[in-house]
Amino acid sequence: MTLSSIPAQAVSRSAGAGLELRSDATQLRSDFPVLAREVHGRRLVYLDNAATSLKPQSVIDAVTEYYSEGSANVHRGVHLLSQEATTAYDAAREKARGFLGAAQASEVIFAHGTTSAINLVARSWGDAHVGAGDEILVTVMEHHSNFVPWQMLAQRVGATLRVVPLDPTGAVDLGAYVRLLTARTRLVAVSHASNVLGTVAPVSEIVRLAHAKGARVLVDGAQSAPHLPIDVRQLGCDWFVCSGHKMLGPTGVGLLYGPLEVLDEMPPYEGGGGMIGQVSLEGTSYATAPSRFEAGTPPIASVLGLGAAIDYWNGLDRPTVFEQEANLMAYAEERLTTVPGLRIAGHAAQRVSVIAFTLGDIHPHDIGTVLDTEGVAIRAGHHCAQPLMRFLGLQSTARASFSFYNTRDDVDALVMGLARVRRMFA
Residue 259's φ and ψ, nearest 5 degrees, are -60, 150
Note the pLDDT of residue 1: 35
Note the pLDDT of residue 186: 98
Question: Per mean pLDDT, which range of 6-20, 44-58, 63-77, 224-238 is the poorest?
Answer: 6-20
Structure confidence by residue, pLDDT tens digits, 5-34: 443 333 333 434 456 899 999 999 999 999
Q: Is 242 a catalytic site residue?
A: no
Q: Is the pLDDT of residue 74 over 70?
A: yes
Instruction: Find the catalytic residue in 344, 384, 416, 419.
Output: 384
Name the residue with higher pLDDT: 19 or 111: 111
Note the pLDDT of residue 16: 44
Measured CA distances, 117 to 5, 37, 219, 257, 360 (Å) = 30, 33, 11, 9, 38
Note the pLDDT of residue 426: 75
Q: Who's near 132: CB < 8 A, 6+ residues apart?
A: 157, 158, 159
pTM for the predicted model, two decimal places:
0.95
Domains, the chain, in order of start with CATH, read 86-314 (3.40.640.10), 318-425 (3.90.1150.10)
Do residues 153 and 126 touch, judged by C-beta distance below 8 A? yes
Note the pLDDT of residue 19: 63
Report which DSSP code applies to 124: I
Note the pLDDT of residue 237: 98
Do residues 242 and 102 touch, judged by C-beta distance below 8 A? no
